[in-house]
Amino acid sequence: MIKDIKTALLLFLILAVLTGLIYPLAMTGIGQVLFPHQANGSLIRQHGRVVGSSLIGQYFREARYFWSRPSATSPVPYNGAGSGASNLGPNNPVLAQHVAARIKALKAEDPAEIGPVPVDLVTASASGLDPDISIAAALYQIPRIAQAGGMDIATLRHLVQQNTTKPLLGFIGEPVVNVVKLNLALHERYVTAHGARGSLAKGAKS
């Protein structure tokens, strides 16, 4: 009996050291050596200052910037500490109301746009943190941004193309546009063209 207890305790200690200490340290070390950017949060820096992460979206509502897809996190959109969805089913009238309100807001900012609204501009992701939108969602916003920001449409299309991520291995998933990176690139154009000052945070509300 005592021998069995000693054996069990010894195995427990060995497994605790392996899985609770050696394995985490080894994985952390490998991550820092081989994938330091990803291991440290895929942080985005602007002029030496951390302004976000390429994995977490931000809430933009100024007309001259691209808008992210909606976020249902609480108490603020894109709350990394409270990832989650609204959990409203497709037959829930509240979801229909939310979508209708988002379409109305998009149309109000760009009344001349009569085309269909891309679905990812009016529906939240499951995590509420998705930083990406479809190419269609980015292109849909270009007329509004061109008018509000005095930016050339061709330039905006080029920025979208530059910030488009292709499918993994060329066929897994769909091309997506990272809104945070795209708006940072756009902000730099505003600084150059119009002498804008300050950080992009002035164009975002969170």
Q: What is the 3-state secondary structure (H, E, C) of 61-84?
A: CCCCCCCCCCCCCCCCCCCHHHCC
Whether residues 22 and 49 fall in one domain: no
Whether residues 133 and 162 fall in one domain: yes
Model pLDDT, residue 178:
95
Whether residues 25 and 62 fall in one domain: no
Find the mean pLDDT for residues 63-91.
90
Give the H/E segment covering residue 133: strand 132-134
Answer whether 83's CB lies under 8 Å from 127's CB.
yes
Beta-bridge partners for 57: none
Answer whether 199's CB lies under 8 Å from 46's CB.
yes
Band of residue 197 on the pLDDT scale cut at 50, 70, 90:
low
Band of residue 205 on the pLDDT scale cut at 50, 70, 90:
very low
Whether residues 16 and 86 fall in one domain: no
Whether residues 31 and 52 fall in one domain: no
d(CA 129, CA 82): 9
Looking at the structure of the chain, the number of domains it has is: 2
Residue 15: give the domain boundaries.
1-40
Model pLDDT, residue 196:
55
Tell me: pLDDT of 159 over 80.
yes
Tell me: pLDDT of 1 over 50.
yes
Tell me: pLDDT of 39 over 90.
no
d(CA 189, CA 22): 48
Tell me: pLDDT of 203 over 50.
no
Whether residues 176 and 77 fall in one domain: yes
Whether residues 62 and 157 fall in one domain: yes
